[in-house]
Structure 1
Amino acid sequence: MAEKRLGTLITLIAGIAWGLSGVSGQYLIGRGMSVELITSLRLLLSGLVLLGLCVLTARRELFALLKNGRALLGIFFFALFGLTLNQLAYLQAIAYTNAGTATVLQYLCPILVLAYTCLKHRQKPSGIEVVSIVLAIAGTLLIATHGQLTELAITPLGLAWGLFSALTYALYIILPVKLIGQYGSLVVIGLGMLMGGLMVTLGLQTWQEPLFLDGGNLLGLVGIVGVGTIFAYTVFLKGVTMVGPVNASLLASIEPIASVFFAVWLVNEHFYTVDLLGMVLIVGAVLLISLKDVIISEKSIG
Structure 2
Amino acid sequence: MNRKEEDSNENASKVTSETASKTFDSSKSAQLAISSSPDSPNPAFSSSARTILIGMILTLLGGALWGTNATVSKILMADYRVSPLQIACVRQLAAGVLFTITASLCARKQLLSAAKSTKSWGMFALTGIVCVLLTQVSYLWAIDCTNSGTATVLQSLNLVFVLVYVCLRNKRLPIMRENIGVLLAFVGTALMATGGDFSKLSLPIMGLVWGLLDAASTAALAIMPVKLIAKWGNLTINGITFIIAGLILLPFVRPWETMPPLDWRGIALFTFTVVGGTFGAYWLFLSGVMRVGAVRGTLLGASEPVMAALTAVLFTGAVFSWADFVGFALIFIMMTLLR
Query: Normalising by structure 1, what TM-score?
Result: 0.93
| 1:122-201 equivalent positions in 2, closer than 5 A | 122-201=171-250
CA contact (8 A) 2:90 2:255 kept: no
Instruction: Show CA shifts across 1:79-105 (max 9, x none).
Output: 001110111101101111111111100
CA contact (8 A) 2:187 2:327 kept: yes
Partner SS, residue 220 of structure 2: helix
What is the RMSD of the two structures over their aligned residues, measured on CA atoms?
Answer: 1.2
| 1:54-65 equivalent positions in 2, closer than 5 A | 54-65=103-114
CA distance in 2, matches of 1:181, 1:165: 24
Partner of 1:296: none
How much has 1:142 moved relative to structure 2? 0.2
| 1:249-288 equivalent positions in 2, closer than 5 A | 249-288=298-337
Answer yes or no: is 1:27 the counterpart of 2:75. yes
Report runs of 4+ in structure 1 exceeding 3 Å deviation. 203-207
CA distance in 1, matches of 2:274, 2:292: 25
Partner of 1:5: 53
Instruction: Show CA shifts across 1:212-261 (max 9, x none).
Output: 23122112213321211011001122112211233222211221111001
Identify the match of residue 110 of structure 1 among 128, 134, 159. Answer: 159
How much has 1:207 moved relative to structure 2? 3.3
Q: Which runs of 5+ in 1 are unaligned?
A: 291-302
Answer yes or no: is 1:246 the counterpart of 2:328. no
How much has 1:109 moved relative to structure 2? 0.4
Answer yes or no: is 1:120 the counterpart of 2:169. yes
Partner of 1:234: 283
CA distance in 2, matches of 1:94, 1:68: 37
Instruction: Show CA shifts across 1:25-77 (max 9, x none).
Output: 10000021111110011101100011100110001000000111222221111
How much has 1:24 moved relative to structure 2? 0.7
How much has 1:126 moved relative to structure 2? 1.0
Partner of 2:264: 215
Instruction: Show CA shifts across 1:160-186 (max 9, x none).
Output: 111111011111221100000111111
How much has 1:150 moved relative to structure 2? 2.3
CA distance in 1, matches of 2:288, 2:224: 22
Partner SS, residue 9 of structure 1: helix
CA distance in 1, matches of 2:140, 2:173: 34
CA distance in 1, matches of 2:264, 2:222: 35
Partner SS, residue 143 of structure 2: helix
Q: Which has the higher helix share?
A: 1
CA contact (8 A) 2:145 2:207 kept: yes
CA contact (8 A) 1:20 1:223 kept: no
How much has 1:107 moved relative to structure 2? 0.7
Letter in 1 for 2:169: K
Instruction: Show CA shifts across 1:120-154 (max 9, x none).
Output: 21111111111100010000000001122221111
How much has 1:115 moved relative to structure 2? 1.0
Partner of 1:71: 120
CA contact (8 A) 2:89 2:253 kept: no
CA contact (8 A) 1:86 1:165 kept: yes
Partner of 1:15: 63
Percent identical residues? 32
How much has 1:157 moved relative to structure 2? 0.7
Aligned length: 290
Instruction: Show CA shifts across 1:176-200 (max 9, x none).
Output: 0000011111111111111111111
Letter in 1 for 2:50: A
Identify the match of residue 102 of structure 2 among 34, 41, 53. Answer: 53
CA contact (8 A) 1:253 1:287 kept: no
CA distance in 1, matches of 2:320, 2:149: 9
CA distance in 2, matches of 1:288, 1:106: 16
Letter in 1 for 2:232: Y
Letter in 1 for 2:63: G
